[in-house]
Amino acid sequence: MFEFERNALLGNVSGQPLCADYKSALRQCGNDKEMLIRLALRQQSMPFFSTACYKKLGFTKEYIKKEFKDYINGYVVKNADGVEGYTYGLYVDWDYENDLDVIVDVCSVMWTVGANIVVPVTKCPTLYVSNHSNVHLVCDGYNTVNVKLFDKSKITIEDLDEKSSVVVYKYSDDAMVELGKFCLGKVNVFNKELRL
C-alpha cells in the first residue's frame, strides 16, 4: 500500500500528483483496507486505480487477492460515491467456471479471463473492465449497460436482446469489443481519452 500511495502522491500514475481532496482521502485510509476499497471504487477513482494496477505501481493481482480477500469477489460496498442506495463491487481474477452475476450498480472487473458477466433482467449497471481482462457479457433482458474498457482488455457481447443496449467507452487503442451471434440489441462503441 505504501508503494501505491507514494506513486499516487508523486504523480507516477497520471503524470501529475493527486489533487488535495484525493490526497487527503488517501491519507485518511491509513491501513484501513475497507476504507481504501471504498476510495478505489468511487467512479472517479476507478480509472486511476485500474491504471496504477496495470502499470504495476503498487498493487498486483496476488497482493489484492491476499490482502483484500474480504472485500472482493462478492463483497458489496454501499454508497462509495455518496449516492444513497448505490452499490459497488470489485472482482479480481474471477473464476471463469462460474458466472459473475452482477448484483451491484457499479462493478469493477480486473485480471479476469473467460468469465461470463451476467446482467439480470432490468439491471442497468456500469462495468469497469481492466488489467488484461477478457470477458463475455450476457444480458438477461431490458438492460442498459455502460462499459468502461481499459488497457488491453476485451469484452465480447454474447447475448443481448433487442430491447437492451450497451454503450462501451474504450480508453485504450488496445482495448477490444466483439459482438457475438446472439447480440441483437443496440451497441455503441466510443473511443475516449484517458484522463486521470
For the four alpha carbons of 61, 65, 67 and 71, in that order, the dihedral sign comes to positive
Q: Supply the pLDDT for residue 23.
A: 79
Query: Does residue 110 sit within a domain?
Result: yes
Is pLDDT of 1 > 70? no
Tens digit of each residue's pLDDT (9 = 90 or more) over 46-97: 999 999 899 888 789 999 999 999 999 999 999 999 889 999 999 999 988 8
Express each pLDDT in 105-153 by its tens digit: 999 999 999 999 999 999 999 999 999 999 999 999 999 999 999 999 9
Closest to 74 in 3D by CA, of 91, 87, 60 = 91
Q: How far is residue 196's CA from residue 74's CA, in Å, rounded to a whole number?
A: 27
103 in Cβ contact with 87 (< 8 Å): yes
Query: Rounded to whole angstroms, how far apart are CA atoms 20 and 89?
Result: 26
For the cut 90, the answer to whether the pLDDT of residue 176 exceeds it is yes
* Contact residues for 118 (Cβ-Cβ < 8 A; gap 6+): 99, 100, 101, 102, 138, 139, 140
Decide if 194 contacts 150 (C-beta within 8 A).
yes
Overall number of domains in the chain = 1
Cell of 100: 459473475
Evaluate whether residue 187 is within a structural domain: yes
Instruction: Please provide the average confidence, as pLDDT, over all residues in the chain.
Output: 92
User: Which structural domain, as residue segments, surrounds residue 92?
Assistant: 2-191
The answer, yes or no, to whether residue 154 has pLDDT greater than 80, is yes
Least confident window among 18-27, 36-45, 48-57, 91-100: 18-27
Residue 196 lies in a domain: no
Task: Tell me whether residue 61 is in a domain.
Answer: yes
- Structure confidence at residue 37 (pLDDT): 94
Q: pTM for this structure?
A: 0.93
Helices and strands (DSSP H and E) totals, the chain: 5, 12
Evaluate whether residue 87 is within a structural domain: yes
